[in-house]
Chains A and B, each alone.
Chain A
Amino acid sequence: MEAAASYVKDTELRLGLPGTDAPEKPAAARGSKRALPEAGDDKSKSSEEDCGDRETPVAKAQVVGWPPVRSYRKNSFSLQARKGEAEGAGLYVKVSMDGAPYLRKIDLKVYKGYKELREALDWMFKCFSQGDVSKKEGGNNGSEYAMTYEDKDGDWMLVGDVPWDMFISSCKRLRIMKGSEARGLESRH
């Protein structure tokens, strides 16, 4: 493949999504003057038909510094977009259970929601407890344990209050609390 050309392309500043080509040229009605700078290699589309007719512009021009939006602003949006993507690294947190001789580590990204998390922990710590770790329906007297977590501010919170995505982004470690401590927490909810 044209390794050099593709390297150059990779380092270009472009507006199109990665993988899109064919920059749009301004309408030929402008005259014979130079259209866009040679920011890209393929200009397979002459886009007179694009200007003005469509409601949604499809291929954007590969033009450096266009649209004139400050790089700070552009970067802050791409940061947010990237945050939403799954990152390869995984999100490992320690899980401790009161009374258990050792801790475990789990990858929060693996679970789709609270139900799966509880089931996984249930299974993981089954050998240390008589009852279920998961909250049983019917409230207070159901469970012997409560799942809590330490958040970014260092506070110990009850698992389950906030949306799952918010939880995994703020959870630093998990603690399965047992007995009276747990009941104290449970009775407030």
Chain B
Amino acid sequence: MTYFPEEVVEHIFDFLGSHRDRNTVSTVCKAWYQVERLSRQHVFVGNCYAIRPERVMARFPRMKSLSVKGKPHFADFNLVPYDWGGYALPWIEAAARCCTGLEELRLKRMVVSDDGLELLARFFPNFKSLVLVSCDGFSTDGLASIATYCRGLRELDLQENEVDDHGCQWLNCFPDSCTSLVSLNFACLKGEVNAGALERLIARSPNLRSLKLNRAISVESLNKILSRAPHLVDLGTGSFAVDDRAEAYHRLMNCFTKCKTLRCMSGFGEASPCCLKALYPVCINLIVLNLSYAPAIPSDDLIKLICHCSNLQKLWVLDCIGDKGLAVVASTCKELQELRVFPSDIYGAGTTSVTEEGLVAVSSGCPKLNSVLYFCYQMTNSALITVAKNCPHFIRFRLCILDPGKPDPLTNQPLDEGFGAIVRSCKNLRRLSLSGLLTDQVFLFIGLYAKCLEMLSIAFAGNSDKGMIYVLDGCKNLRKLEIRDCPFGDGALLKNVEKYEAMRSLWMSSCEATLGGCKALAAKMPRLNVEIINESGNLVESKENLSDVNKMEKIYVYRSVAGPRNDAPEFVWTL
């Protein structure tokens, strides 16, 4: 094949969808490496510190789309200090120097600054799409730059970011000439936007298909917007607070009757139960429904709504839906593929809202179910065994029993057998999160059966180093391992060090690994960055006082060709 002209090889590579496949073909020979790198348009960097931005830009000069991920996953749960790192600016600056043809940037868990956003807006003439997920560090001023300078912007998608509200009317900055918007999501913004400017923007965006409003947008505004954008496919509703006696409510119901293309809905931040009735006209067409930010809706009203949603493929709800509600989901939503049930009562004493019964019901009623995230107060081995039997096609199974280390309430046994059944039955399982009382036995099962597993999250589990060793030895495809509060120490950390080069990263916090163990790991594996994150006190001082037997509170190990970071804060020590 090397004797084919380059254009032919390039054309063949075009059929390779995934970046992993493209990575593979580029290792075949120098010629293929060259053809591949010059034709790659979508570049995915799973860990921003694994490689320097300049190297990425140099290798892929014709890059059109760049995705970068920053902080480790546990940063979502406040386990990573605020200024640990993950800065987007070096990536934007490097692209501004070499890849100004960039059209799309997707960042997850990174620190983005207003300066970075301005750079993005001004230096990339073809820039079309910005997607920021769980990022922080920027304000509405940065959004104003994007709105002002990006000609032909198609997508501005802000998902669950912490954005400072500087009060400036960023939405007003979209010029009258901007008519290209396809997707606009500002649901995470806390501040007000000018309703009139929004309505005018929507009126001149004929291609708009996805719109997610924030809570500041009233139902009156929503009505005006829907009447201007009847071809919306994806809608985040804004406050959705309306009384069903008000005229606005009737207008809303009327608008929804005209929205024939609506397939996905989210928002409902202030929705009261009566508002949901306005949705009945669209329910039959919905494939995605996210009610997980609507805490004021009791189970019975959710049930009435779900009864109309027989084509649902993805459902996110709060646990106030109850087992009864999940039974209705099971009998109604026969197309369901993904279910997420979030806890509604994080701070209080809690009432039992969903138990193992709800999960069993859905597993039994929904034959296409392949992805579950389930927060509950209890789980039994027999329920997990039943779920495993009902759903051999799981690719994602994340169970969070809210009491750490809680056993099976019927038998008082650990949940080893239950999770063992899951990994034995679900041969394509790629992601697994464990909880409840678990011994080393569950890890034996995981190492033995979870051959496709790529990501594993463990908390308050295991008895000894053996647990972690089973996983590292057995899970051939493991890419990310994150562990907290488990009794795994140096023995586990050092047993299979080569494994970490085949993985993206390892996170261990509140475990038993010591400084000596980490030093040994760093010495054996120079292509790994072994970061110690020590927030208590000044690390520089305590470095002298730290002995090799001290246990390290937070360890983050990741493969890297970039060497130690040059932007690490004081409390991060790369060995």
Contact with A along B268-282 (1 / 0, CB 8 A): 011000000000000
Neighbour of B437 across the interface among A30, A53, A60, A64, CB < 8 A = A30
Interface locus among A21-29, A95-103, A127-135? A21-29
Q: Residue on B with the closest CB to A75?
A: B162
Q: For the complex, is B558 an interface residue (Cβ under 8 Å from A)? A: no
B221 and A153: CB pair below 8 A?
A: yes
Contact across chains for A30 and B405 when beta carbons are under 8 A apart: yes
Interface residues of A in 19-77 (CB under 8 A from B): 24, 26-27, 29-31, 33-37, 50-53, 55-61, 63-74, 76-77
Q: Which residue of A lies closest to B440 (CB)?
A: A31
A27 with B437, Cβ < 8 A, contacts A65-B484, A67-B402 known: yes
Residue numbers in B under 8 Å from A63 (CB-CB): 404, 485
Q: Mark B341-385, 1 if CB is under 8 A from A, else 0.
A: 011101111111000000000000000000000010110000000
* Residue A87 at the chain B interface, CB threshold 8 Å: no
Give the nearest-CB partner of A152 in chain B: B218
- Per the bound structure, the CA–CA distance linking A72 and B159 in Å amounts to 10
**Alpha-carbon gap, A102 to B250, bound state (A):** 38
Task: Determine if A110 is an interface residue (Cβ-Cβ < 8 Å).
Answer: no
Q: Does A170 contact B (CB under 8 A)?
A: yes
Using A36-B485, A56-B351, A161-B246 as known contacts, say yes or no to A68 and B512 having CB atoms under 8 A apart. no
Residues of the A chain whose Cβ atoms lie less than 8 Å from the Cβ of B571: none
Q: How many A-B residue pairs have CB under 8 A?
A: 150
Q: CA of A133 to CA of B41 in the docked complex: distance in angstroms?
A: 70
Q: Does A2 contact B (CB under 8 A)?
A: no
Give 1 or 0 for each of B407-419: 1 = CB within 8 Å of chain A CB. 1110010100000
- In the complex, whether B487 has a CB less than 8 A from a CB of chain A is yes
Residue A80 interfacial (CB < 8 Å): yes
Q: How far is the CB of B22 from chain A (nearest CB, A)?
A: 31
Is there a chain B Cβ closer than 8 Å to A78's Cβ?
A: yes
A62 CB to nearest chain B CB (Å): 11
Known A-B contacts A15-B346, A56-B349, A69-B342; A27 and B487 likewise in contact (beta carbons under 8 Å): no
Secondary structure at chain B's binding surface: helix, strand, loop or mixed? loop
Does the CB pair B195–A80 fall under 8 Å? no
The answer to whether A52 touches B269 (Cβ under 8 A) is no
Check B243–A162 contact: CB distance below 8 A. Answer: yes
CA distance A160 to B499 in the complex (A): 68
Residues of the A chain whose Cβ atoms lie less than 8 Å from the Cβ of B243: 161-163, 166
Distance, CA A16 to CA B402, complexed state (A)? 13
Chain A window 76-104, contacts with chain B (Cβ cutoff 8 Å), 1 for yes, 0 for no:
11101100000000000000000000000
Checking B375, B403, B407, B412 against A57 with a beta-carbon cut-off of 8 angstroms, the contacting residue is B403
Given contacts A15-B346, A30-B437, A69-B346, contact A61 B404 (CB under 8 A): yes
Query: A155 an interface residue at 8 Å Cβ cutoff?
Result: yes
Q: How many residues of A contact B (CB 8 A)?
A: 52
Interface residues in B58-79 by Cβ distance below 8 A to A read 74, 76-79
In angstroms, how far is the closest chain A Cβ from the Cβ of B481?
Answer: 15
A162 to B295, CA, bound (A): 21
B76 with A56: CB separation less than 8 A: no
Assess whether B84 is interfacial by the CB under 8 Å rule: no
Do A71 and B352 have beta carbons less than 8 Å apart? no
What's the nearest-Cβ distance from chain A to residue B112, in Å? Answer: 15
Is B160 in the interface zone, CB < 8 Å from A? yes
| Chain A nearest CB, measured from B523 CB (Å) | 27
Per-residue interface assignment for chain B, residues 456 to 479, with 1 indicating a CB less than 8 Å from any chain A CB and 0 otherwise? 010110111000000000000000
Contact B407 A69 (CB under 8 A): no
Please indicate the chain B residues that have their CB under 8 angstroms from the CB of A64 in the complex.
Answer: 77-79
**Interface members, chain B 72-120 (any A CB < 8 Å):** 74, 76-79
- Tell which of A35, A36, A67 touches B343, judged by Cβ atoms closer than 8 Å: A67
- B543 on the A face (CB < 8 A): no
From 153 to 170 in chain A, residues with beta carbon under 8 angstroms from any chain B beta carbon are: 153, 155, 161-163, 166, 170
Q: Assess the B485–A37 pair: CB atoms within 8 A.
A: yes
Contact with A along B142-163 (1 / 0, CB 8 A): 0000000000000000001110
Q: Which residues of A contact B161 (CB under 8 A)?
A: 72
- What mask results when residues 292 to 315 of chain B are scored 1 for a CB within 8 Å of chain A, else 0? 110110000000000000000000
Give min CB distance, A164 to chain B, whole Å.
10
Cross-chain contact A68 with B77 (CB below 8 angstroms): yes
B497 proximal to A (CB < 8 A): no
Q: How far apart are A37's CB and chain B's nearest CB, in angstroms?
A: 5
Nearest CB of B to A7, in Å: 16
A13 at interface, CB cutoff 8 A: yes
A68 pairs with B76, CB closer than 8 A:
yes
B459 touches A66 (CB 8 A): yes
B274 to chain A, nearest CB (A): 10
Chain A: minimal CB distance from B84 (Å): 14
Contact (A153, B195) CB under 8 Å given A30-B405, A60-B350: yes
Interface pair A68/B459, CB less than 8 Å apart? yes
Residues of A close to B76: CB separation below 8 A = 68, 70-71
Q: Which residue of B lies closest to A20 (CB)?
A: B349
Q: Is A33 within 8 A of B404, CB to CB?
A: no
Once A26-B460, A67-B346 are accepted as A-B contacts, the answer to whether A76 and B78 lie under 8 Å apart by CB is no
Q: Are A33 and B218 in contact (CB under 8 A)?
A: no
User: Closest residue to A163 on the B side, CB-wise?
Assistant: B243
Q: How far is the CB of A101 from chain B (nearest CB, A)?
A: 33
5 smallest A-B Cβ distances: which pairs? A26-B405, A33-B487, A65-B77, A52-B409, A72-B160
Beyond A53-B409, A81-B347, 6 additional pairs, beta carbon < 8 A: A27-B405, A37-B485, A51-B403, A60-B403, A68-B433, A80-B295
Taking beta carbons and an 8 Å cutoff, which residues of A are in contact with B?
Answer: 13, 15-17, 24, 26-27, 29-31, 33-37, 50-53, 55-61, 63-74, 76-78, 80-81, 151-153, 155, 161-163, 166, 170
